[in-house]
């Protein structure tokens, strides 16, 4: 049975195609280029920058051209008039032009332009925040895959120990020193370790697939070789410097400050409605009307009636006007008062949101820093634990072959070794994730 499993593992390894070497920096670069959320944020930023234009603030005049063609028909009968019968068809065309220009509206043009610029800054901040989150996700996914790869090495070393144990039991059986029970125990351990290795390979494959998904790859089943190792390189961070960096460069806080500025601009816009609006307007028109048809005249008495064809002469009219307009809203039922009060309350809320987030982020920073320091100590402990486990494996193997410990004790020491390796790898990963969070929250993850 164990020969079949060994053959399966060999085939699994041989099926691996040519692998692409992938460093962490390359993974980040590709993720920034392909990540859909970043691409959406870039598109939204382009829209906001395009909207940052005086053309959307009513600063410039509006000019419109128009034309009003028409056809009219009229059939009139009036015995009391000289023209007792009239049948006419009229054709009219009237091109026109108008100009309207708001000269002053309480400063709302300038405020609106400032608001559009602030919205563009907010979109840029949202893009930066998305980039930081994506970089953090890629770093975490990359090192998660590295840890799962290292776990494969641990499982392979444990499997090699189990294989040696089977061979040793076979030798003992040949010389009549071992029994079937000991051989079955060795085979059970080998099968269990083989299963763990197969599961670990699947876990590693899933971790790589998750990394590719975070990077924005369309092909999620590609084979990659992760070249960066997870190493123990702790940093002695200064608490005061981190807090100062947090308040100065944290992207979430910066975005909340922009939201506060937008709330203040909204208040100014509503208050500007209390000022008069002055505008300039002009219009010009040119009408051409042509009338054709017939008219029947009756002069009374013995004179016969006479029918006359209309000559179809065009009548032309040119008109034009210029002027200034000024308006001031005296009373609107309290609408401006309510909206001004609401805008000021929104401004206060935005300030409270900023202060609340500032307090929460400072607390989270201190907790993360304390966690980082504790995890650095844990790595030191797990390193010693591995050294002890490796020494125990060597001594246990000698004693097992010498018959001073049984197979159950030897198996437990093997498991302790595997658990120690797992603990150290997880401790390294936790330290790296915590360090990444420290860099992100202080705005240093993208430099």
CATH number at residue 126: 1.20.1600.10
Q: What pLDDT, in 10s, does the model give residues 132-149?
A: 999 999 999 999 999 999
**Which among 289, 304, 327 is the end of a domain?**
327
**What integer is the mean pLDDT of 36-41?**
91
Q: Are residues 307 and 421 in the same domain?
A: no
pTM of the model: 0.80
Measured from the Cβ of residue 180, the count of other Cβ atoms closer than 10 Å reads 9
- Partners of 324 in the β-ladder: 280
- pLDDT at site 25: 93
Q: Residue 290 has what pLDDT? A: 86
At 299-315, the pLDDT tens digits run 666 566 677 777 777 88
Q: Is 4 contained in some domain?
A: no
Structure tokens given for 207: 């971790």
Mean local confidence (pLDDT), 411-440: 89
Q: Which domain holds residue 380?
A: 24-58+105-276+328-441
At a CB cut-off of 8 Å and minimum separation 6, what does 393 contact?
Answer: 161, 413, 414, 417
Structure tokens at 234: 């702790």
At 1 the pLDDT is 40
**Strand positions, DSSP E, 155-266:** 224-226
Interatomic CA distance for residues 284 and 57, integer angstroms: 26
Domain count, the chain: 2
- Angle, to 10 degrees, between the axis of helix 24-34 and the axis of helix 180-215? 50
**Token pair for 443:** 């705005």
Give the pLDDT of residue 132. Answer: 95
Same domain, 298 and 220: no
Check pLDDT > 90 for residue 407: no
Residue 299 shares a structural domain with residue 392: no
In this predicted structure, the answer to whether residue 65 has a pLDDT above a threshold of 60 is: yes
Kind and range of the H or E run holding 390 = helix 335-402
Q: Please tell me whether residues 233 and 184 are part of one structural domain.
A: yes
Place of tokens 């009968």: 77
Residue 164 located in a structural domain:
yes
pLDDT at 19 exceeding the cut of 80:
no
pLDDT digits (tens, 9 = 90+) for 224-242: 999 999 888 888 899 999 9
- 169 and 100 share a domain? no
Clarify whether residues 247 and 353 are in a common domain. Answer: yes
Contact residues for 250 (Cβ-Cβ < 8 A; gap 6+):
361, 441, 442, 443
In-domain check, residue 15: no
CA dihedral 388, 389, 394, 395 (to 10 degrees): 70
Confidence (pLDDT) at 2: 42
Q: Looking at the domain assignment, is residue 14 inside a domain?
A: no
pLDDT for 22 equals 93
Residues 186/407, Cβ–Cβ less than 8 Å: yes
Judge if 249 and 360 occupy the same domain: yes
> Does pLDDT of 17 surpass 80?
no
Do 250 and 135 share a structural domain? yes
276 φ, ψ to 5°? -70, 165
Residue 212 has pLDDT above 90, yes or no: yes
Contacts of 148 (CB under 8 A, 6+ apart): 200, 203, 204, 207
Per-residue pLDDT of 71-116, as tens digits, reads 888 887 877 677 767 888 888 988 999 999 999 999 999 999 999 9
Q: How far apart are CA 198 and CA 186, in angstroms?
A: 19
Cβ atoms of 152 and 229 within 8 Å: the answer is no
Q: Do 283 and 363 belong together in one domain?
A: no
**Residue 10 within any structural domain of the chain:** no
Instruction: Answer yes or no: do 90 and 180 share one domain.
Output: no
CB contact set of 344 (below 8 Å; sequence gap of 6+): 267
- pLDDT-based confidence at residue 9 (cuts at 50, 70, 90): very low
Q: Would you say residue 270 lies in a domain?
A: yes
Of 265, 298, 327, the position where a domain reaches its end is 327
440, 364 Cβ separation under 8 angstroms: no
Question: Virtual CA dihedral for 200, 205, 210, 213, nearest 10 degrees?
Answer: 180
Whether residues 87 and 187 fall in one domain: no
Q: What is the pLDDT of residue 232?
A: 85
Alpha carbon 415 to chain centroid, angstroms? 44
Of the three residues 291, 306, 327, the one that is the final residue of a domain is 327
Determine, yes or no, domain membership for 252: yes
The answer to whether residue 12 is domain-embedded is: no
Residue 166 and residue 311 share a domain = no
String of DSSP letters for 254-312: HHHHHHHHHHHHHHHHHHHTTS-EEEEEEEEEEEEEEEEEEEEE---TTPPPEEEE---
Per-residue pLDDT of 151-179, as tens digits, reads: 999 888 888 877 776 766 665 555 555 55
- What residues form DSSP beta bridges with 315? 289
């Amino acid at each position: 049975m164990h020969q079949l499993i060994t053959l399966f593992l060999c085939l699994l390894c041989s099926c691996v195609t040519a692998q692409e070497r992938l460093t962490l920096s390359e993974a980040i670069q590709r993720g920034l280029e392909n990540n859909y959320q970043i691409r959406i944020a870039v598109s939204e930023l382009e829209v906001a920058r395009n909207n940052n234009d005086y053309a959307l603030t009513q600063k410039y005049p509006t000019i419109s051209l128009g034309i009003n063609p028409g056809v009219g028909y009229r059939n009139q009968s009036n015995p009391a008039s000289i023209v007792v019968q009239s049948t006419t068809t009229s054709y009219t065309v009237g091109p026109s032009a108008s100009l309207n220009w708001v000269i002053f509206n309480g400063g709302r043009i300038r405020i609106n332009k400032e608001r559009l610029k602030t919205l563009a800054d907010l979109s840029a901040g949202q893009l930066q925040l998305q980039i930081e989150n994506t970089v953090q996700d890629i770093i975490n996914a990359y090192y998660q895959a590295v840890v799962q790869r290292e776990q494969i090495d641990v499982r392979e070393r444990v499997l090699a120990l189990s294989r040696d144990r089977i061979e040793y039991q076979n030798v003992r059986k040949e010389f009549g020193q071992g029994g079937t029970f000991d051989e079955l125990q060795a085979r059970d351990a080998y099968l269990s370790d083989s299963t763990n290795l197969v599961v670990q390979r699947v876990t590693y494959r899933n971790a790589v697939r998750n990394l590719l998904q975070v990077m924005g790859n369309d092909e999620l089943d590609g084979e990659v070789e992760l070249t960066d190792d997870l190493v123990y390189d702790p940093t002695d961070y200064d608490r005061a410097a981190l807090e100062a960096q947090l308040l100065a460069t944290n992207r979430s806080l910066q975005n909340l400050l922009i939201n506060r500025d937008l709330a203040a601009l909204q208040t100014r816009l509503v208050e500007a409605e209390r000022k008069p609006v002055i505008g300039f307007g002009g219009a010009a028109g040119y009408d051409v009307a042509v009338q054709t048809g017939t008219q029947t005249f009756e002069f009374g008495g013995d004179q016969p009636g006479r029918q006359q064809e209309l000559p179809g002469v065009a009548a032309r009219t040119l008109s034009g006007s210029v002027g200034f307009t000024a308006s001031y809203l005296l009373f609107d039922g309290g609408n401006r008062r309510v909206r001004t009060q609401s805008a000021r309350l929104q401004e206060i809320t935005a300030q409270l949101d900023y202060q609340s987030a500032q307090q929460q982020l400072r607390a989270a920073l201190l907790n993360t820093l304390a966690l980082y320091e504790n995890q650095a100590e844990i790595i030191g402990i797990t390193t010693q634990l591995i050294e002890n486990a490796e020494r125990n494996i060597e001594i246990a193997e000698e004693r097992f072959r010498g018959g001073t410990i049984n197979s159950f004790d030897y198996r437990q020491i093997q498991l302790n070794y595997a658990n120690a390796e797992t603990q150290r790898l997880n401790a390294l990963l936790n330290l790296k994730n915590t360090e990444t969070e420290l860099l992100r929250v202080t705005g240093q993850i993208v430099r």
